[in-house]
Every structure is written in structure tokens, then in C-alpha cells.
Amino acid sequence: MSDARSAAGPPPVLEREVLLTQPSTDKVLRMRPILVATAGPALLLLSFGVGNRWIALVACLLLAAVGVAVATLPRVWTLSVRVDVAARTRVGEVVEHVFHLHNHGPRDLPPAVLHFRGDAFAPGHTALPAIPAGASVALRVPREAAFRCFSPGPEVLVEAADSLGLLTVERVGRVGAPVHVHPAPATPPTLAIPPVSAGVEDVAGVRPFRRGDRVSSVHWRASARRGALSGPSRGAGVGLVVVEREVEPVGPLVVALGGAASGDGVAWEELLASAAALVRRELGSGRVVRVVLAEASGEGLGALDVLAAAGGPTPLDGVAARAAAGRDGRVLVGELGTGWRFA
């Protein structure tokens, strides 16, 4: 994904609870309020011109209706909103958002409509019940994560109408509810056996003795069972078996990602998803794993957060990756057009 939704940069800092004092900037022509507000004065002027008292009566009724609508217009600007949501999720998962709304005003607020949009989740709306003065309500809304990014929080808009349903009022605010939306589930990459230099040795099995094997690696009991120690020997080491050991690296696995800035955005997203699957597998096995990008790095769950907030392809930072791996770690490079390899 190469658009602004996944652009790199510091995330905005938003208030966790905001008052909806900002008018909506939606340029929507609402014909009903316009007609109601203009029909009364127009008919009143017409009645003066033609001298018809019935037209004047209708004009006065319309003006009275507009006056009642203005007087009973809900004060949605006295509403404050807070959103509670999990700090991490993945693309495609449904996450429950809890919207807490509190009426700070002296008047009750009638039922309204709550809209939410402008974050990493699917936009939508839900009915907002009446909120008495000084009271609060909590709405639980399941929302699906739509794309990978760091989501600072949704834009919340409350739309309400007066008691006659003639006029509407809207107020909007951006609520801080930070969520790291990790890449969608994918298949971990198939890797070659990595080079290792130090680690904890585990017995993998036994094999026949070969020239150059250390004497300390001979499995004497298994060799005795094969008769290598009792029968005539036809050569040094004939009939002996040695212990085959595998080495488990003790250092971290450092995943370094990069590519040309003009690289394919779809291929970059696939590479990030594959890296996320690899990180989840390593964490599930209890291993230490780090992710290094040109603009950020992280370890553990923070590695997934780095993948969530990654921008477009950036040049590979091999120096930072080797420094993060240290002496005992491994560096796994994922690069556009090259694939996966151990450095």
C-alpha cells in the first residue's frame, strides 16, 4: 500500500476524550432545512403583495415552526466522546470499539445518529439513544480492520434533529484511540538452514565415525553395542559411531526489509505480510526477533508494530541490522526482487 494511509512519519497525538464543538465540514446540501427556512419569509412577502390573509397565515405557521425547530435544536456540542479499543489487531479482524458519550449540558439530548470514520477500520454509523443531562452512555460497535497502518483514532460525528425534524445539527471531533493494525495473516517464508556460530547444543542422533571427528564426540555405548570395541579393527574408527548435534543459536533473529523506493507497492505489502507471519512464528516459539527498517526498528510485539506503521519501500539498512544482531544473532534479509536470504 503506497498511499498516505501507510505513509511513514510521527503519529499525531490526539486527546483520548474530546468535546464535539467543531462543526462538520461536509458540503451536503440539505433541501428540507433550506426550504423550511426560506418558504416562511417568502410567503409572508407574497401575502403583503397580494393581500391574501391565508397565505400570511401559512407563512406565520412556517415561521413559527422554524422558531420551534431552532429553540429545540439539540446541543450536541455539549457531548464528549471517548473510545476504548484494543491496542493491536490484524487486517481483516473484527475489533469491538466502545464509544463512551457524556452529556455535559443542562438539557437532555434526544436520540441521534453516531458516525465513525477516517481510521484504519471500516466506516459506519449506529443509533445513539437519548442522553439525559449529566448522564453517560456506552455503545459497543464491532468494526473490521480494513488496512495496515498505525491508526491514531476515528473521526466521530454526531447528527441530530430538532423536535419537529425540520433542522439538523452536526458536530465532529477526532478522538485518540491508537491502534497498530498489523499485516493480514500470511504464510511464513520458507528459509534455508541458517549459518550458526554459537549456541546450545542438542542431540540430533548418531552417525558413523568419519575422519576428522573429535574423539570426544564418539558415543562409546552405541559403539560397544555394534561390537566396534571388541572385534578386530580394520582401520581407525571403523565401527565407531559419533553423536550428531544440532546447534540452536542463542542470539536474536533480526529481520531486515528493504527495496527500491519505486518498487511495486503490492509486492511490498506481500513482503511485509510474510515478515509479520515469520515474526509471529518466532515469537510463538519463544525466540527473540527484531525487525529493522530504514525508518524504525522494534523487538517482540514492537516488531509487528514497526511492520504496521511501515511506509513504502525504503533502502535496506544492513549496518543497523548487523548491529542489532550482535555476535550471536542472525540477520535475515527480505528484499524486493530478491526474496529471503541469510546475510
For residue 327, the model assigns a pLDDT of 85
Give pLDDT tens digits along the chain (343 positions): 333 344 344 456 689 999 999 988 776 555 566 666 677 677 667 776 777 778 778 778 777 877 787 788 899 999 999 999 999 999 999 999 999 999 999 999 999 999 999 999 999 999 999 999 999 999 999 999 999 999 999 999 999 988 888 788 899 999 999 999 999 999 998 876 554 444 444 445 677 877 767 777 777 777 777 665 544 444 455 678 777 655 555 689 999 999 887 778 899 999 999 999 999 999 998 999 999 998 899 999 999 999 999 998 988 988 999 999 988 889 999 999 888 998 8
**Residues constituting the chain:** 343
Instruction: Tell me the CA distances in angstroms from 323 to 232, 297, 314, one per residue in order.
Output: 55, 12, 19
φ, ψ (nearest 5 deg) of residue 144: -95, 135
**Buried-exposed string 306-340: b where 16+ CB fall within 10 A, e elsewhere:** bbbbbbbbbebbeeebeebbeeebbbbbbbbeeeb
**Angle made by CA atoms 318, 320, 322, in degrees to the nearest 5:** 70
- Tell me whether residue 28 is exposed, middle or buried, using C-beta atoms within 10 angstroms of its C-beta: 0 to 12, 13 to 18, 19 or more: exposed
The secondary structure of residue 9, as a DSSP letter, is S
φ, ψ (nearest 5 deg) of residue 221: -65, -45
